[in-house]
Structure formats: structure tokens, C-alpha cells
Amino acid sequence: MAVSTNCYGDPMVDELAPRFAQRATWKLSTVAQRSHQLLAAAFAERGRRGYDFRVLAALDHFGELHQAAIGRHTGLDPSDVTQTVRDLEAAGELTRLPSSEDRRRMVIAITPAGKRTLSRLESAIDTAEAALLAPLSDAQRERLLEGLEVLAQAHDRR
């Protein structure tokens, strides 16, 4: 028996316990999890992950950066920057050269291939984001975004 029955004897699809399913934090994490699924799948198709996108986007926007700056502009831990930059360099998406001014630093720059990858990832994200938000009316979407904006600002990463 794959379904349980409620007190009326009706067949009942297994339900999540309201004890947590009604919580704002649960709904939030459900939606975020779905978002992550869609994005991770889109990235994985291209052999990349969220970290790669963030690093490429930061380089494209700010130009050359050393790794610590990449970390600050992406919210990544320095150790994760190291790994991500290593992967992206191996894939030819960026260059990594020792700084002439500061011998501790590595100067990272996006390559043309990296820019192409970035725009491909960006389109994939557009698609995923559209799929995620599709169930909302325009008004609902705007109101949701307003709340997220306020909270994201208040609980800033950085």
C-alpha cells in the first residue's frame, strides 16, 4: 500500500507534516532547492557549477582581479577560489599570472573562451529562472522579488 488513508477513508497521497511544511523557512528552502536543482542541472550539462559562473561573472564585470578580490566579489572562500580558478584555467576559461607589483598575488583574467562560456551559462540561467518563476503572475513575481530584495540586502553575504 503506497498511500495511507485519512480519517474519512479517502485515499490520500502522502503528505508532508504541516508541522514544518507550513513554515516560511520550509517553503523558502523548498523553492531554493528547486532553484538549485534547475541551475545545477544547467551548469552540469556544460561541466560547470555555480562557483565557476560566479568567478567568470566577476571577472567579466570587474576586469582583472587577484584571487582575494575574486573571493570578495563573489562571496567565495579563498580556498574555493583556488580550486575554481584552477579548474577554469585548465579549461582555458581564464588566465592566471603572478602579479609584478605584489608577489603574493595572482592576476586572473577572463579569456574569450571564458566570455563565451559565461554567456552560454547566462542563457541557461535565464531559462532556469523563467521556469522557476513561471507559476507566478507578474504582480506576484514583483511582490516576491521585493521581499527577497529586502531580506537579501539585510542579510547580506560579505
- Would you state the cell numbers that stand for residue 2, as one nine-digit string? 503506497
Q: Which residues bind DNA (CB under 7 A)?
A: 1-2, 29, 33, 36-37, 39-40, 43-44, 49-51, 66-69, 71, 75-83, 85-86, 102-106, 157
The Cα diameter of the chain in Å comes to: 76
From 34, 37, 110, select the one nearest 70 (Cα to Cα): 110
Q: Which does 41 bind (CB under 5 to 8 A by kind): a copy of itself, DNA, none?
A: none
- Taking CB under 8 A as the rule, does residue 135 contact a copy of itself? yes
Question: Which is closer to a copy of itself, CB of 98 or CB of 102?
Answer: 102
**Residue 135 to residue 115: CA distance in whole angstroms:** 32
Q: Which does 158 bind (CB under 5 to 8 A by kind): a copy of itself, DNA, none?
A: a copy of itself
CB of 138 to DNA, least distance (A): 28
Q: Which does 44 bind (CB under 5 to 8 A by kind): DNA, a copy of itself, none?
A: DNA
- Would you state the cell numbers that stand for residue 53, as one nine-digit string? 559562473
Q: Which does 63 bind (CB under 5 to 8 A by kind): DNA, a copy of itself, none?
A: none
Q: DSSP alpha helices (H): ranges in the chain?
A: 18-21, 24-45, 50-62, 67-74, 78-90, 112-133, 138-154
